C-alpha cells in the first residue's frame, strides 16, 4: 500500500511538471502569434542589424594590423552578434522566453562567454576597440544563469531527489506562480540541502497553513526532509496534493463565483435596465406631451404672427383695391358730372347766346321784333285755322260720302282739296319768307356781336 502511494505521489509530481511545461508551450505559441511579439522581434532585428554593422566595421578596421581570414572574420561576427541577440531577446521577451537557460557550458553568463571567446579568437586591441564601440552605443550583456536552472525537475527516486529542496521549490512555484517567481529557485544554493529546505518552508509556511492545517511546515520537518526521511517526505507530498486540491476548489469556486456574479450582474443589470426603461418611457411620454404642447404653442405663435402679417397684407390689398375702386367711381361720377355740367353749360350758353343775340337784334331792329311776334302769332293762327278747316273739310267729305243722292261729289271733293292745297302752299311760301328774313337777321346779328358771345364751359 505504501509503495502504491509512493508511486502515485511520484506520478502526480511528474505529471504536474509536464502539465505546466506543456501549458507554458501553449502559452508561448499564442504569444508568438501575437502582434506584440512580432513588433518586439522587429525591434530586436533592427538592433541586430545595427550591431552586425558595428562588429563588421570594427573587425575590418583592426584586421589590417592583425589579419584574419574572411571565413574566420564572418564566424566571429556571427557569434558576437548571436550572443548579443540572445541576451537582448532574453531581456526584452521575458514573457515569451520563460526558460532561463541559453548556454550549456559553464559559466552560463553572456559577458563571460563573450570574453572567453574574444581572448581565444581576437587580439586584445580588437576586443578593446569592439567593447568600447558597443559601450558607446549602450549594448550591454546582463544575462546570467545558475546551475540549478539546468536541473531535471522530474522525480526518479523519492528518497533522494527531494532532499536538496530544488524540486519542492519548483512545484511550489508552479502551484503559486503569482506569489513565487523564479527568484525562489535563485535563492537555492547547491550542497546546502538543509538550508534550502528551511528557506523554502519559512517562505511557504504562512501560505500553506491557510490551505492545509494537517501538516506543519516547520524547521523539524524541513530537517527530516533534508535527511531523506520517508514519512515526512510522503506527508509533504500529500500536503502539496491537498493544497493543490484546495487550490482547485478555490479556483473552481472563484470561477463559478465569477460566473454567478456575472449572471447576477447581468440579471440585475437587466432588471435595472427594464426599470430605467420604464422610467424612461414614462418620462419620454411626459416629454412628448410637453414637447407637443410647446411645439403647438410655438407653431400657434408662428401662425399667429403669420396670420397677423397676412391679415395686414390682406387689409392693405383691400384698402388699396377699395381706394382704387372709389377713385374709379369718383372719377366716373366726376366725368359724368362734368359732362352733364358741360352739356348744361352749353345749353345755357346756347339759350343765353340766342337770347342775347335776339335781344341785340331786336334792340337794333325793332321792326324785326314786331315781325317776329306777328309771325309767331300768325303761325299759331294759321295752324289753328288750317286745323279747323281740315276738320270741317273731312267732316263734309264724310257727309258727302254718306249721302248717296249727291252724284257730283267728285267735283266737290276736288274743289275743296284744291282750295286746301292752295291755302297750304300760300302758308308755306309766307313761312319760308319769314324764316329767311329771320335767319338773315340772325346771321347779321351773330357777325355783329360775335365778340360778346359766351363760350361753353370746359
Res 448: pLDDT: 38
* Residue-wise DSSP of 128-146: HHHHHHHHHTT-----B--
Please give the distance of CA 208 from its chain centroid, rounded to a whole number: 60
Q: What is the pLDDT of residues 227-241, one digit of tens each?
A: 666 677 667 777 777
Q: What is the pLDDT of residues 176-208, one digit of tens each?
A: 655 555 456 656 665 566 667 777 777 676 666
* Residue-wise DSSP of 307-368: HHHHHHHHHHHHHHHHHHHHHHHHHHHHHHHHHHHHHHHHHHHHHHHHHHHHHHHHHH-HHH
Q: Give the pTM.
A: 0.34
Is pLDDT at 410 greater than 70 in this prediction? no
331 or 12, greater pLDDT? 331
Domain limits of the chain?
34-145, 365-452
Amino acid at each position: 500500500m505504501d509503495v502504491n502511494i509512493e508511486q502515485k505521489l511520484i506520478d502526480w509530481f511528474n505529471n504536474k511538471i509536464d502539465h505546466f511545461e506543456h501549458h507554458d508551450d501553449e502559452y508561448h505559441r499564442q504569444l508568438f502569434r501575437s502582434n506584440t511579439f512580432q513588433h518586439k522581434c522587429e525591434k530586436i532585428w533592427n538592433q541586430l542589424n545595427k550591431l552586425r554593422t558595428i562588429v563588421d566595421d570594427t573587425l575590418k578596421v583592426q584586421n589590417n594590423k592583425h589579419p584574419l581570414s574572411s571565413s574566420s572574420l564572418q564566424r566571429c561576427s556571427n557569434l558576437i552578434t548571436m550572443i548579443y541577440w540572445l541576451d537582448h531577446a532574453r531581456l526584452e521577451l521575458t514573457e515569451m522566453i520563460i526558460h532561463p537557460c541559453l548556454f550549456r557550458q559553464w559559466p552560463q553568463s553572456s559577458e563571460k562567454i563573450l570574453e572567453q571567446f574574444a581572448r581565444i579568437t581576437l587580439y586584445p586591441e580588437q576586443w578593446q576597440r569592439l567593447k568600447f564601440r558597443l559601450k558607446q552605443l549602450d549594448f550591454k550583456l546582463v544575462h546570467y544563469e545558475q546551475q540549478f536552472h539546468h536541473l531535471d525537475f522530474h522525480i526518479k527516486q523519492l528518497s533522494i531527489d527531494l532532499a536538496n529542496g530544488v524540486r519542492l521549490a519548483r512545484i511550489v512555484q508552479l502551484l503559486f506562480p503569482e506569489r513565487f517567481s523564479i527568484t525562489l529557485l535563485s535563492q537555492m544554493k547547491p550542497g546546502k540541502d538543509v538550508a534550502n529546505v528551511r528557506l523554502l518552508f519559512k517562505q511557504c509556511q504562512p501560505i500553506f497553513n491557510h490551505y492545509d492545517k494537517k501538516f506543519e511546515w516547520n524547521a523539524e520537518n524541513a530537517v527530516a526532509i533534508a535527511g531523506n526521511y520517508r514519512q515526512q517526505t510522503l506527508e509533504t507530498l500529500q500536503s502539496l496534493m491537498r493544497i493543490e486540491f484546495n487550490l482547485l476548489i478555490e479556483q473552481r469556486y472563484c470561477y463559478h463565483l465569477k460566473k454567478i456574479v456575472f449572471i447576477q450582474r447581468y440579471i440585475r443589470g437587466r432588471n435595472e435596465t427594464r426599470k430605467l426603461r420604464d422610467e424612461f418611457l414614462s418620462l419620454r411620454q411626459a416629454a412628448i406631451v410637453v414637447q407637443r404642447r410647446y411645439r403647438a404653442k410655438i407653431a400657434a405663435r408662428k401662425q399667429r404672427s403669420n396670420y397677423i402679417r397676412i391679415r395686414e397684407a390682406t387689409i392693405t390689398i383691400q384698402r388699396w383695391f377699395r381706394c382704387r375702386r372709389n377713385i374709379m367711381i369718383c372719377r366716373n361720377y366726376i366725368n359724368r358730372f362734368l359732362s352733364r355740367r358741360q352739356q348744361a353749360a352749353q345749353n345755357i350758353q346756347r339759350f343765353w347766346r340766342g337770347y342775347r343775340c335776339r335781344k341785340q337784334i331786336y334792340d337794333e331792329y325793332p321792326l324785326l321784333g314786331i315781325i317776329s311776334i306777328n309771325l309767331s302769332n300768325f303761325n299759331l293762327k294759321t295752324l289753328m285755322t288750317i286745323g279747323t278747316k281740315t276738320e270741317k273739310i273731312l267732316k263734309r267729305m264724310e257727309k258727302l260720302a254718306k249721302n248717296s243722292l249727291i252724284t257730283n261729289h267728285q267735283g266737290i271733293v276736288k274743289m275743296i282739296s284744291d282750295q286746301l292745297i292752295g291755302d297750304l302752299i300760300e302758308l308755306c311760301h309766307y313761312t319760308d319768307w319769314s324764316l329767311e328774313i329771320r335767319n338773315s337777321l340772325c346771321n347779321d346779328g351773330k357777325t355783329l356781336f360775335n365778340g360778346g358771345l359766351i363760350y361753353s364751359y370746359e
